[in-house]
Structure 1
């Protein structure tokens, strides 16, 4: 449940950081910057990424719990379970992202 909130917070921090850089380097005011940014943003830029973060968070939690529950005894078993959880989750997130992009392209073409 926290991953979508972290994505939204990260997006907000990135927008604020880029506004600071444009203010210092390019002499662009904050009001002008945010007006231009929000005029250029579309719901297609924000909604799919936020929805994907729910699925990413679910996959990370599910794989981590599964691998942790079925780990072998001892520190070596826990280390192996953590390593395989990271590798498996990375591949699973790649597949989930591929499917999500495919589905969002179908809906945007309608």
Structure 2
């Protein structure tokens, strides 16, 4: 995982619910694998506002909602859509290989 561009198998595609999320760990990094509108995303599993697991929140229309205070994050960019969160969370590169979901911790956004 320390080498740039390295992908790690994190789960089977069938483990990720439709319009839902699955919390996994890539090394020591908590990552939410999210399926929304037919696409699969990888986003930090820790809310930038309250440090709770985003994978426990609702997924809808390309966003994931923090279950604690209701901030929604765009799955493509990690940017918050509404308060109280004001900082983006990292998003990661996802690759589907057959039925395997692979993630690279090289972030796509700052």
Please classify the TM superposition score into its range, dividing by the shorter chain length: under 0.3
Q: Which TM-score applies when normalising by structure 2? A: 0.24
Q: Which TM-score applies when normalising by structure 1? A: 0.24
Compare the two structures and name the one with the higher strand fraction. 2
